[in-house]
């Protein structure tokens, strides 16, 4: 008897841009220690907003993000300029300001994904 196929949520669009290595000339790379320390207050804002919305470390992944998208958007939009500029220091303020809105959101999500995997690995394996 054939096993029923698993039904996957429609997240292909979200996942594909979250895996980008470069968008509009902005490189998506891992943060240095200095960048992380500068970005930490902004990350805390995102994490606090997501926890308030019911996200746990076990439920926050590319597929589970869809139900928390409004809270994530509320957390990201106010800090997006700082997050991108600190993550892509080789770019000018003018280059950031010229980014189309959809690209800026995609870039922010790609930057977070690239770096949050390390944080969730750390917190997921840390002793409680």
**32-85 per-position pLDDT tens digit:** 999 999 998 998 888 888 889 888 766 666 556 678 888 888 999 999 999 999
Position 14 in a domain: no
Predicted TM-score (pTM) of this structure: 0.72
Position 12 in a domain: no
Q: Map tokens 């891992």 to a residue.
A: 30
Position 4 in a domain: no
If you compute the radius of gyration of the chain from its CA atoms, what whole number of angstroms results? 16
Return the percent helix, strand and coil in the chain, to nearest 5: 60, 5, 35
- The total of structural domains in the chain comes to 1
pLDDT tens column, 73-124:
899 999 999 999 999 999 999 999 999 999 999 999 899 888 877 666 655 5
Range of the domain at 111: 24-122
Position 39 in a domain: yes
- The Cα–Cα gap between 84 and 91 comes to 9
Position 15 in a domain: no
Position 11 in a domain: no
């Amino acid at each position: 008897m054939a096993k029923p196929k698993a039904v996957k949520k429609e997240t292909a669009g979200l996942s594909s841009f979250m895996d980008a290595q470069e968008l509009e000339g902005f490189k998506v790379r891992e943060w240095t220690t200095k960048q992380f320390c500068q970005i930490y207050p902004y990350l805390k804002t995102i994490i606090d907003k997501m926890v308030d919305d019911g996200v746990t470390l076990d439920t926050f992944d590319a597929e589970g993000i869809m139900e928390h998208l409004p809270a994530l958007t509320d957390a990201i939009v106010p800090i997006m300029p700082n997050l991108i500029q600190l993550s892509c220091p080789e770019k000018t303020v003018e280059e950031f300001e010229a980014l189309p809105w959809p690209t800026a959101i995609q870039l922010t999500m790609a930057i977070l994904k690239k770096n949050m995997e390390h944080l969730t690995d750390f917190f997921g394996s840390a002793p409680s």
